[in-house]
Structure 1
């Protein structure tokens, strides 16, 4: 059924067309969240203000149009998808207000959880909820799902730490519990609603059996159904209303802002891994540990440990554990190291009587405890990575009363065996009796769906009926458990939930079939296919963890969405469906605007680099093999051409003036169909070729200086405060530190091959790389001398797959840290400096080192939040400048206190300078300015 014309017309008058999406590519891309369901919305609306939400809800309510709200789309139970109207948060929901020295924080729903914690970290505080998805999940979803995690338990979740809420009801009414005027107006306009809520509270508290059941259920971790504890915990109707919103999954209202009471983030911590001989012993230790000063106790069954036992860094003995072994990962945190040590002694004493098969003692070493936590965090992706192509990895979470945890673990394992889920694993938050279980499931044949249905029937009977537990502990009810809410809660509580729903959403427009559904088979409908697409991405579980670091997120597609669309294209082709239009749209949205820097792989639980797929697909369309080969063989000529072009552009600037040239260039680009690059004031001037001079025989240590092709062609912009070319500045700094600088022979003909590989010409790229490595081997006397490469993307390409090579290749950050800082005296400058950590610097593992060097050179260092990749991506800043502009849209405000920025890639610096209002330079400019040769 199509959307009403009256509704569509009104929406188009309210929302700019560029924020409305109804084309097949966009609706399919947004029709996916982290769950195993898919619904294709008829319309996607990107909202940028509360006013827009208010007006949209008024329109939807009047026309009975269902709407669903979406923040990050990391939800696992189908809460963030719709076959009607999907309302997606845009950029302008990122506000945060730290109060009372960090004791409270007010957040808009678009703030990523980890970013909220980053703001609070200097104050020794954090928000209570700590979901595993906190680096991607946004506050709107964290509140709407009452997400918890490994440490927050039931005491520090959104419900328990809620200090205030601003929300928009289904009729478009706004109420802010922290604004007396707003509350007064709401009490006047919605007096009847508030009285009905108060009456529901009185009835519930008077029903002793129901009230006791509610209190029992929320002694456990529980996100099944609405937060009925609001009706017994509070008697004031506004308090009831705000706490009902927590965990309501967008079915009762839109959360416009939330204020949290924050919790301490203790700086000292230690982690241990203790393996017990069996499940019973392991689970008997949990109640004992619950009385100890522990911040987290994670259970891992033998299957889950087996899934990660080959992970680098794990003890070899993990492979030899007994078949019945069961482990606890234990963490303790404290404000001081002395207190931490007292806590560890108490914890160890408490469990000294339990038999132990193996253990890793408590360690405060970050390398050790981070490795131990990786065991826990990698279990889910480990199952996802080995699943059969076409199946999906499903993660469920249930709660057993802690005293029945051992029985619950064993009974779930028996259900795995009964239904032949041989790959299934169990792990979870043992202190709360909260177990996650992961298994793989195909939905492409009725027999598989029937197997899943039978399994879920047994699970729900076991957890909800036999043990009185919770079917959803922290992932939210969604549409996955909606048919089983009454089974868990009973008729009285279930009908109470429906009364709440109909009171707050009388027309049923808010996220229908989520939490409450009249369809007993809704959990078996709209199951998402995961068809084979390409071996590079077939392991994708569509979790969305990659999205925050993608520069095209919000412009075209994210890595997750690129995979979703490519999967659909391949499935349609196999089915004989014409994909011409979809592939044409994918060319720009999927390929042209992908920076292909691979940051997505760092966030991906199964390590997928979507950029590898993009490069492969570009290679299929790379039809200019002859041209690429000619350029590879005549690279010095290409370098001359690049310098000539830059010289000509600078000449035009002198002739026309910068403003007129910029305007003319923009017009020419438009006339060319966006094929011509656009001139900007940050465009470099040409650099003169390096005059090769043989190394001299003196006592100084030698360093081979590999000036990247961009450094050899591109000098400073005409308006830059620094007019010394990078090559000269770098040589001067190296010589200041006492090095003799040596250049490879025939440098202008050398290239790492990145420009070829990124455009799909892998063969030519590899040829140039090997040619360069051979030249570097000669220049470094077979690897005797270190090699300094002045551009981090080139360094990254060269150090990958070096094999048995003896070459010692450094990017600027690593070389400065290991070879220059001890040779220089540094006096830090007071002028603030902005730091951009390039994608390649992150891949090289030098991100923190770059920041540390900057802080050694300047007393005030600014690291803009949310800018992970600048989007310039080699030459995309010229060919697709909108990608660079979009990725850096928040940069200017973030660096307004700075007069200079630093980075490690000349092309990135062009884009950064264009969109920041300040000049960005290579790191060596800063180091050279504040340093003197050590006597």
Structure 2
């Protein structure tokens, strides 16, 4: 257990005077979950404070300073070296740090620290600009972490990292002082209040520049990528102490202050691009080619050794020739871009001429084909996940990044490979950003016994000597020093430069309360202490490496737990059970687990789309729900056999609800249902957007299996149970149920429609699957499959449903006879050419449902919307609406949390559209717009073409 001490309880009591108690997290589950980052370290904070403003940060710093309590700042927690863990106070960004401001027509952008890197680029994309840093975690990491770690990436090199594209900063220092370097008044006040600090920095800079050997060593070291220690290149690059201060903050890993906003100079984002995956006979030849490519207009050059290529060669979608490469072969992935097609071609030819005399195993050929281009990059991106997916359960994945001088890269690679093999890391792979001499190496490591820890420690000692001393390279090129390299900063830099760094820390943080033991440390063993356990917990999630890439798309991440955090808590529960922990210890986690871990998971599966090893945490939740619901199997079977009656009863309930609303209003209905829940009745929460009941399907006109051969253009339509029950919004101008709209469109397009005659009893099984009742769920799905088979006979037919969630369940049943489609996808792919479209002169909002994304149909839905409206807005903040089937009625706060930014993003839109009815209920409530199926818009703007 990780109890909270009286000192921290007193701190909580004080902080509660100005921060709501709901954002002062002291329960063990929250502290354990939120205190986990992507590194292999485990420290559990005594207190997690979710701050929503600069004022709150200042107050927390003041309160902690008075008590001498350390604080650590936390953004996305994707750091790999232990920068964002603490056993004291963790200051976590709340929901209010997502602001941005475009400056100079996109030449610069001001960003708050909670903005995800990819979001910044999506804001800049229409202007063909982007931020310079491009870390591999850009879809998950936040601007605060990018700046605090001086993260770079595959294309930015050193020229376009945070240090070199920084314009201004807004900072909070250890003493609570706020400085905005873009505000003249703020700067003037700071120059007066902190004159001594600025004078000390001025003197340090002057002394460093005057110390010729030291200054030259610093300049030499920063020819390479280097994030080891503080960015003391600021002392030689600038004379103004304010500029020195600003640039020291970059890469300081939260040890000098809190970055509350940063202004970047943006860089061009050229749309025309090409890539070549060039195979060389050996590492020496590849490195010779890299040296030549340094002087060419390349965007990126990624080196992959034979082991890294071997790790991905059997994965789907990889180039066919990887498996045929000889031992020792090395590849360079060369990316080239241009402002237009002509410049791109010119750049390609220049590169080809440069490499003309270099031996290659395959003819050099660049591709512009998007699919092939993506497959080349998937080779590079798949290496790290490949090691993670195949590791022994209980081991962790270590990914380190070093930099060798480019002219010695080949021998550095060979020596590093030899060192890894010497210490038994035979599965290790090497890849990296070749132009910078920057290599990542990945291997698996167990920390379960002292011998394994000793092996790792011995390897690190020799690695530090090899890279930092023998080659004069960087022990940390772009991942930040963290805890893992803190003991070796002095070895790399020497005592004189290290003394400078310690002086800088003392100037900014004399009490050493900001993220202690990170970046520099007096503890020579800090890198092998507080190591994270990774016990066997469940085969569904045992491969999780806790990187946090999943979190950005999770609808519950700002309410309870993210997928990573669910796995962390489940692992800890299993660890305690396996080790025979006390009942009290287990109960401490179980108390909150039901709500935070299980009840508030939307089961959308989007986490799997971002997970390097493809884990769908929703499957873990379904599995655990199923074990809880074992006693419901018989009841579920009873309901499944009577599904037609259940659907009829649901429609009746909606009619009664509509009557109740007319008598009591929404507030009265909400109160009545709340009283019913208190009385123990199993009812959900009232939703103001709850629609009326759908009218019954007109059986006599729509049903009937065909006899004999079916005519051309016949399709099977299977109206989903949700749209057979839920009618249109009560305020909608078009009151037709969705099934009538589908039939209208299919008729316009010239299709004959068949509907199973047992439609009222059919369901894809999703309601049962979400509760872990897999046998019942599969039984219902098989009923749909059998009904459509009977209609199709031996002919090949399209089977259409009108809900994306239901289609996701059925899509995997597609075969040579039956092809399952969601209605909007079918209309876009097949019916749209048969229709005459007069696009609406409107700006509309489009919600891409999680099931649409998971089914691979997002572009189809987007294409349909763009064909029918002048402008289409897809809110960047919403990946899943969080309605989650019945979750929207049982835990409506999940839906509220997931859509909290929606209203601001859809301003100026005339209406909202989607393709899943329950999603539309929540979207309408939280946007101020009326949301309907996209099919209503298509039907409104379409007609049968004139002959």
Please confirm whether the aligned pair reaches a TM-score higher than 0.5, indicating the same fold: yes
Q: Is the 2:705–2:757 contact (alpha carbons within 8 Å) kept by the matching residues of 1?
A: no
In the alignment, is residue 694 of structure 1 matched against residue 704 of structure 2? yes
In the alignment, is residue 751 of structure 1 matched against residue 763 of structure 2? yes
Q: Is the 1:681–1:719 contact (alpha carbons within 8 Å) kept by the matching residues of 2?
A: no
Q: Report the Cα offset of residue 801 of structure 1.
A: 4.8
In the alignment, is residue 637 of structure 1 matched against residue 645 of structure 2? yes
Matches within 5 A, 1:527-676: 527-577=531-581, 578=583, 579-622=586-629, 623-665=631-673, 667-668=674-675, 671-672=678-679, 675-676=682-683
Q: Is the 2:838–2:941 contact (alpha carbons within 8 Å) kept by the matching residues of 1?
A: yes
Q: Is the 2:303–2:333 contact (alpha carbons within 8 Å) kept by the matching residues of 1?
A: yes
Q: Is the 1:783–1:808 contact (alpha carbons within 8 Å) kept by the matching residues of 2?
A: no
SS in 2 for 1:370: helix
Q: Distance in 2 between matches of 1:57 and 1:571?
A: 35
SS in 1 for 2:521: coil
SS in 2 for 1:436: strand
1:725 corresponds to: 737
Q: Report the Cα offset of residue 672 of structure 1.
A: 4.8
Q: Distance in 1 between matches of 2:260 and 2:819?
A: 53
1:885 corresponds to: 896
SS in 1 for 2:168: strand
2:833 corresponds to: 822
Q: Distance in 2 between matches of 1:592 and 1:747?
A: 31
Q: Report the Cα offset of residue 243 of structure 1.
A: 0.3
SS in 2 for 1:704: strand
Q: Distance in 1 between matches of 2:219 and 2:644?
A: 76
Matches within 5 A, 1:819-898: 819-898=830-909
Q: Distance in 2 between matches of 1:205 and 1:8?
A: 46
Q: Distance in 1 between matches of 2:754 and 2:9?
A: 71
Q: Distance in 2 between matches of 1:53 and 1:657?
A: 42
Q: Distance in 1 between matches of 2:27 and 2:315?
A: 43
Matches within 5 A, 1:124-135: 124-135=128-139
Q: Report the Cα offset of residue 727 of structure 1.
A: 1.0
1:767 corresponds to: 779
Q: How many residues align?
A: 933
Matches within 5 A, 1:358-437: 358=362, 361-437=365-441
Q: Deviations over 1:424-471 (max 9, x none)?
A: 000000000000000000000011001001111111000000000000
- Structure 1 spans left out of the alignment, 5+ residues: none
SS in 2 for 1:716: coil
Q: Is the 1:79–1:514 contact (alpha carbons within 8 Å) kept by the matching residues of 2?
A: yes
Q: Is the 2:305–2:429 contact (alpha carbons within 8 Å) kept by the matching residues of 1?
A: yes
Q: Distance in 1 between matches of 2:797 and 2:485?
A: 63
- Answer with 782-791 or 70-79: which moved more: 782-791
1:54 corresponds to which of 38, 58, 61: 58
Q: Distance in 2 between matches of 1:178 and 1:929?
A: 51
Q: Distance in 1 between matches of 2:681 and 2:44?
A: 31
Q: Report the Cα offset of residue 661 of structure 1.
A: 2.8
Q: Distance in 1 between matches of 2:570 and 2:113?
A: 30
Cα gap change, 1:250/1:372 in structure 2, threshold over 3 Å: closer, same or farther? same
SS in 2 for 1:921: strand
1:703 corresponds to: 715
Q: Is the 1:721–1:919 contact (alpha carbons within 8 Å) kept by the matching residues of 2?
A: no
1:444 corresponds to which of 438, 448, 469: 448
Q: Distance in 1 between matches of 2:573 and 2:141?
A: 28
1:486 corresponds to: 490
TM-score scaled by length of structure 2: 0.97
Q: Distance in 1 between matches of 2:360 and 2:873?
A: 49
Q: Deviations over 1:349-406 (max 9, x none)?
A: 1111111123562101110111100100110110011110000000000000000000
Q: Report the Cα offset of residue 587 of structure 1.
A: 1.1
TM-score scaled by length of structure 1: 0.98
Q: Distance in 1 between matches of 2:906 and 2:671?
A: 26
Q: Deviations over 1:707-751 (max 9, x none)?
A: 000011110132233211111111111111112222111100111
- Structure 2 spans left out of the alignment, 5+ residues: none
Q: Is the 2:319–2:376 contact (alpha carbons within 8 Å) kept by the matching residues of 1?
A: no
1:187 corresponds to: 191
In the alignment, is residue 906 of structure 1 matched against residue 927 of structure 2? no
Q: Is the 2:28–2:588 contact (alpha carbons within 8 Å) kept by the matching residues of 1?
A: no
2:519 corresponds to which of 510, 515, 525: 515
Q: Is the 1:272–1:359 contact (alpha carbons within 8 Å) kept by the matching residues of 2?
A: no
Q: Distance in 2 between matches of 1:588 and 1:639?
A: 28
In the alignment, is residue 45 of structure 1 matched against residue 45 of structure 2? no
SS in 2 for 1:721: coil
Q: Is the 2:283–2:329 contact (alpha carbons within 8 Å) kept by the matching residues of 1?
A: yes
Q: Distance in 1 between matches of 2:840 and 2:813?
A: 39
Matches within 5 A, 1:788-827: 788-802=800-814, 804=815, 806-827=817-838
SS in 2 for 1:57: helix
Q: Deviations over 1:331-354 (max 9, x none)?
A: 001001111111111101111111
Q: Is the 1:833–1:862 contact (alpha carbons within 8 Å) kept by the matching residues of 2?
A: yes
SS in 2 for 1:93: coil
Cα gap change, 1:755/1:782 in structure 2, threshold over 3 Å: closer, same or farther? farther
Q: Deviations over 1:79-135 (max 9, x none)?
A: 011100000001110110001111000000000000000000000100000000000
Q: Is the 2:227–2:476 contact (alpha carbons within 8 Å) kept by the matching residues of 1?
A: yes
1:175 corresponds to which of 170, 179, 191: 179
Q: Distance in 2 between matches of 1:479 and 1:838?
A: 40
Q: Report the Cα offset of residue 849 of structure 1.
A: 1.9
Q: Report the Cα offset of residue 654 of structure 1.
A: 2.0
Q: Is the 2:318–2:378 contact (alpha carbons within 8 Å) kept by the matching residues of 1?
A: no
Q: Distance in 1 between matches of 2:609 and 2:319?
A: 24
Q: Deviations over 1:770-803 (max 9, x none)?
A: 111000111233443321111111111111254x
Q: Report the Cα offset of residue 14 of structure 1.
A: 1.9
Q: Deviations over 1:58-92 (max 9, x none)?
A: 22222211000000000000001110000000111
